[in-house]
Each structure stands twice: as structure tokens, then as C-alpha cells.
A = this chain, B = another copy of it.
């Protein structure tokens, strides 16, 4: 823990900012809609940029609309960056993304109030279009920020309403001039505070998650083609039932997840059945299998087990199986230094801690390409997220922000090893 060991954030002030930002694009029944680069997003950005300036941060906006507010350090060099995003899904809550950005501002405010300077500069970032709810891919801003997506491609991306990213940036006045890419955006370290978006911390009564890695993701669509026969007149031995093969694959996906164990998850979420009639054997069935693991070797093993099962089960039923990959990302490990600092500060603050993976994607996984990065999770009530009823208690928010504060102070004072 840093020298300023008794320093604490002002939880009420942080929650007040969350509520003020939640009023921008507020939905009638609760929750918020601030789709990326919409008029509501512009209003949210204006509010955040205003707060940054009030806190004395030097605000820089790049060509893709990523906002970075920097507080100088006594020794210069690249900043310790705190960040996340303020865009939301169509029916989002007040915490997803917003918490990471506004907790960053709360860290700055706390240090300002206490008159504490850090050796390294600090920066608070709000990245463009993390959700991907209007423009694909998600995490677009942070991906381009670290040089993983070229500007022209990003600007030409057309959203669900037909407009491009470039047009919308111009329309809301957030096409800045700061450069993108790793060379322009060096960081000493990156820390993101986020709601878990899953049920584990809430169910186990744990205050803080030290995120060790983001799960690798494998999405595969399988299409099975059989023969559509009469359910009454076709003996079982003469059937080629595409629905049966799909069902067997769904059951096997669960079995694979349990056999591999650990962090492995498997979900068959999407089904399309043809002809979808009570008394006709299905002949055209499409399903998706979503496999995730923090360990790339095990994720590949799960994929191999699944494909082997599909092959032999379809062959036994006389059904044709084809597949295509819808998404494939390797796991992203976070920095042990950052993880250890999160764990140590949670302990020092008397907060219970769980080392855990993130099952969802976050800007931190992009920043991990250019600097030691890590994440702090706080509980999501009932595991609910991307939903207007998303909730985290004020005390839980303050606890997470205090861990963030002291983790940032540690990283900004000491030497941080470069990207492992």
C-alpha cells in the first residue's frame, strides 16, 4: 500500500457522478440508452470532459473520439492509465463502463483534495464504442488506440442505422486530432474497475475480484442437414434427424465443459429448426456453440472434442454437418504485477478477494497489448448486466474505487515491469 495508506475515495461523490451520467439518455422505466456516437453519447462525453477539465486534467481527443485526460507526474514518463467506456447497449444500466471512467475521475479528485502528487503521470480514458451495440466490432476505440485497427477501416464502419463511425464522429464533434497507435499512446500501466457482469462475487459474498485474464472465446455455428420425414410413418431405423444430432451436440457441449472443468464454459444459445413442425422429422437445423476458457490449450481441446463428437454423431445418423467460425479470440492474460497489487490492496483495505477470469470482453484486454494491464471487479447484483436493472451497491462501488486508488498509487510510484 502506498504512503498515503489512509487515503479513501469519496464514495458519495462517485455515486453522484454515476447518477448524473445515468441521467443522460435515461430510459423512462430506469436504465439508460447511450449508443456509441449518438446525441446521447455526445451529451455524456460533454459531461465527462467537463468534469475532467474541472479536475485540472489535460484533455486530448483522438481521431476516433477516444478521450484521455492526463494529470502530470513529478517524474514524467508514460502515465498510469485508468479507463473504460461510457457508451451503453440499447437498454443498459448505470454501471457498465461508466464506473471505470468515473472511478478514475474520483481517484484524481481524491488525490487533488489531498494534495498528493504521483511520480508518474495519471490518465483517465473513455474509449469509443466498447459495446459494439451500434458499430461492430466491440472494443473498437481501445483496439484502434493500441494500433490493432487502422483508422480508415474504423471510420468507414457502418452502424445498424446506416451511418458510418466517421460521419457520426463529425456530427457530434468528437473527431479529434490526437494520433492513434501504440507509439503515440505509451502507458506505464492500465487498470480498469468494472462490474463483474456475472453472478460469482454476489453469490459468494466476495467484495473484490482480481481479474487474472479474459477468457478466450470460440463461437462456432453448426448446420445439420438430414431428411424431413413423416413422424408417424418413418421407422426409427430409417431416419436422418438433424434435430437429434443438434440436441446430442448440445448435451455433449455441457459434458465437455464438465469434463474439462475449471473455467471452461460451453453454451448452445441459438437454434434454428426446419421445418419446425410437430409431426415432421427436422431436416435443417443450425445451432451455435460458444466455448470459453482462460487457457488456450484447454480451449483448443474443447473445440477438438466438440468437432470429433459432431463428426461421429452426424455420420451415425446419416446427417451432413458443416460449420463456420463466428468468432475466435485467444485468452488475454493480465499482468501479475497489477493482479498482485490489486490483491494486496484489497487485503490492506480488509476486503475479501477472489482471483477470477473475466468471461466478457473489456478495453483492458486491448491495453494489455501495450502495457501491464489488469482489472478490478465489483459484484453485479444477481449477475445481471446489459439490463436496466443492473445494480451494484454504493458500498461495493466505494470499495472497488479504493482498491483502484491504491493500486494506481502503487503503480505510479514504483517501477512497473514492462509487458510480460
Residues of chain A touching chain B, judged by Cβ–Cβ distance below 8 Å, are 196-200, 203, 215, 217, 219, 229-236, 238, 241, 243-244, 246-248, 250-251, 254, 257-258, 263-271, 273, 276-282, 288, 290, 292, 326, 358-361, 383, 385-386
Contacts and interface: CB of A to CB of B under 8 A. Distances in A.
Contacts of A219: 278-279
A234 B282 CA distance: 31
A198 B199 CA distance: 51
A361 B231 CA distance: 12
Given A269-B243, A270-B276, A279-B290, A199 B234 contact: yes
A148 to B, nearest CB: 20
Contacts of A244: 250-251, 254, 268
Contacts of A217: 232
A250 B243 CA distance: 8
A274 to B, nearest CB: 10
Contact of A270 (B258, B269, B273): B273
A326 B278 contact: yes
A234 B268 contact: no
A384 to B, nearest CB: 9
Question: What 8 A-B pairs have minimum CB-CB distances, sorted nearest first?
Answer: A198-B233, A232-B359, A233-B359, A247-B250, A231-B267, A247-B247, A278-B288, A271-B273
A187 to B, nearest CB: 26
A271 B271 contact: yes
A196 B233 CA distance: 8
Contacts of A273: 269-271
B265 A235 contact: yes
A250 B236 CA distance: 14
A65 B237 CA distance: 40
A90 to B, nearest CB: 13
- Of A229, A230, A243, A326, chain B has the most CB atoms within 10 Å of the CB of A230
Contacts of A292: 231-232
